[in-house]
Structure 1
Amino acid sequence: MNGTVESLLVTGMAVLGTLISAVLTQRQANRSITQELNRLDQWRTADREEQAKHDALLVHRAGYTALNTAARRYLAALTNQLHALRLGTGLDTTTAELHRARAAHADSYAEIQLIAPTPVLAAARTVNHRLNHTYGILMRLTNGTPGPDDSPDAAQARITELWSAGLPELRERMRLDLDLPSTPGIPGR
């Protein structure tokens, strides 16, 4: 009987060892699958974050491009209005062009207010204020109701400052936000 019990114990141990081995193998396989799924989830999360950053960059770039274009057109329209005032001709055409350019700039500026970080927004606000102040001077001169400090020379000084410092500063802030290299030596126009 001892041999039979011993044989049953050995057989039982062998079966138990086989079962435990299968359970341990299954647990290790489950652990490996879980780790692989976690790595895959981390990769997908990182990929989504990268895509979100890329999409945000594209939105910022499009908004910045639109603002830069609109500000340049607004400033060019201000310049044209000043020239028409000095010549005394073509004011109807330049005034209409100036109103369109101002409206386009207002739309671009409104979009930037929603997406731009503080340094870009501060520069955009400064340029917007200076453009609109210059617009006010030129409109008062055009309508024949100049204020005490309104003159063509004052408007010209503001226009020159915007071309030489205002717009280049705004573009530099936008480039920094987009992580683009600075472009020294490129004229303001």
Structure 2
Amino acid sequence: MSHERTDEELMLAYAAGDIAAFETLYARHRGPLYRFIVRGISPRATADECFQDTWGRVVAARVRYRPEAKFGTWLYQIAQRLMIDQYRRVRPQVSLDEDDSPLHLAGDEQDKPEQALSRFEEQRRLQQALAELPDEQRLVLQLRLEQELSLEEIGEITGVGRETVKSRLRYAMDKLRARLGP
């Protein structure tokens, strides 16, 4: 019976020269990591660059990797640091790509144009409200809601305690409710 290797085992195998181990890690994490970065940085080209830089750092750090924390936590720490560097360079702007057009947001092809436009407008309002959150609040909200990480894992990634994470989440949700309504 074959046992599926953990991310940590795969990373150690990759450090020892097993390229297939890296390919497995990349396949497991590319989608969630990309969505995390794309939702945190605009324009899309900058997010793509951050995504590539994150994997580049993983490759460069492979020989120094020690499984002291979960691989996913370590990976998101790298991405988060790169995103913070980008936030410092240029405050993110709300931008809707062609993927966010009303036609792409229409879930049911039978929807009327008014319904698709209404959903598009709601999405745009949410994106604007998220962009207005302080970086620390937006980051913990993304990690919690989109990546479904625990408060402890978010604390490890962001370098703050559990109570600070809870506080940032609470303030972010309060600001979103105030901006968007109930």
TM-score by length of 1: 0.27
Larger Rg: 1
